[in-house]
Structure 1
Amino acid sequence: MVRIGLGFDSHPFQEGRRLLLGGVDIPSPEGLKGHSDADPLLHAITDAILGAIGEKDIGELFPNTDPRWKDAPSQLFLEKALSLAREKGFRVVNLDCVIVADRPKISPYKDTIRENLSRLLGVKKENISIKGKTREGFCPDNGIACMCVVLLEDEG
């Protein structure tokens, strides 16, 4: 059996914060605003996995009203989603992601992000796609949005 999940997340820019995408520090004069470390790529992947297995979404499991998650690393959220998937007998087969950002340019960091996601997900790097897209004048450039599709398969 296979299952597909779709995830989306976005955060506005904020001065004085780190910029994290896929668990990778990206050099930037500003980071992203959020209750946790505000990594929109890990948040979107987490939601995609949770959706594929029919679980509550990231906001329900890790609400931004809970002080336990203040500045928490998004890797914790991903690890929980992966744990729930394994409990249900599923593993990640492949991942396809789009990062929508006019700045910074994503292409110099794509391989590093793919390598880190490969390690976190236990999936071959070749099974992970990261695409950077600009807004091309659509919507104001005040943050970063990420969309991901994940394919899970039954481990049995």
Structure 2
Amino acid sequence: MRIGQGFDVHAFGPGDHVVLGGVSVPHTHGVVAHSDGDVVIHALCDALLGALALGDIGVHFPPSDERWRGADSRVFLRHCRELMRSHGYVLGNADVTVIAERPKVGPHAAAMRALLAEDLGCTIDAVSVKATTSERLGFTGRGEGIAAMAVALLRRDPA
């Protein structure tokens, strides 16, 4: 088994939604990012890449590369799935926590889990998405941005 952890953060900016776990969530702001700024997927990708000892999301999808401008982060996650498979691993489970005062994640968590499981080629019960606030402390507490952290357990593919 291998374990990895990931973290991502983006500042809020102009817009009317944020993308979290592949789901467009209505919000008073968007995020400032090179891709779609999906902190859930970015943190999860870093956890998967960390477990595989293959660097981080910036190594695989550098923000200096224009082909990733505005990219759907689900492409990044599917790339990580293929890296897992090519290295002989499958997902045991993944746990993601979104850190934000708003938007509220709970009403969208099931849809996020379904999309993440689809992209990772696993069952929905292997993926957890939850949220917490920072009790109005720090940049997330002041509503300046959003963050996510993730942990992933990989296991050797029995096939």
* TM bracket, shorter-chain basis: over 0.9
Distance 2:42 2:16 in 1: 17
AA aligned to 1:110 is A
Distance 1:118 1:81 in 2: 13
**Identity of paired residues, percent?**
41
Shift of 1:18: 3.9
1:22 is matched with which residue?
21
Query: Which among 144, 154, 159 is matched to residue 142 of structure 1?
Result: 144
CA contact (8 A) 2:6 2:45 kept: yes
Distance 1:17 1:77 in 2: 23
User: What are the within-5 Å matches in structure 2 for residues 52-67 of structure 1?
Assistant: 52-67=51-66
CA contact (8 A) 2:16 2:26 kept: no
Distance 1:39 1:100 in 2: 13
CA contact (8 A) 1:17 1:32 kept: no
Partner-residue secondary structure (3-state), 1:82 = helix
Distance 1:94 1:76 in 2: 20
User: What are the within-5 Å matches in structure 2 for residues 7-156 of structure 1?
Assistant: 7-16=6-15, 18-140=17-139, 141-156=143-158
CA contact (8 A) 2:99 2:133 kept: yes
Shift of 1:121: 1.2
AA aligned to 1:151 is L
Q: Which runs of 4+ in 1 moved over 3 A?
A: none
Structure 1 gap ranges (5+): none
Would you say how many aligned residue pairs link Structure 1 and Structure 2? 155
Distance 2:31 2:16 in 1: 6
Structure 2 gap ranges (5+): none
Shift of 1:17: 5.9
Give CA-to-partner distance per residue, 1:7-53, whole Å, 9 cap, x none.
Answer: 11010111126410000010112111100111011001111111101
| Structure-2-length-normalised TM-score | 0.93
Shift of 1:85: 1.0
C-alpha RMSD of the superposition: 1.2
CA contact (8 A) 1:5 1:48 kept: yes
Alpha-carbon distance change, 17 to 72 in structure 1, aligned in 2, over 3 angstroms: farther
Distance 2:68 2:129 in 1: 27
| Structure-1-length-normalised TM-score | 0.94
Distance 1:43 1:17 in 2: 20
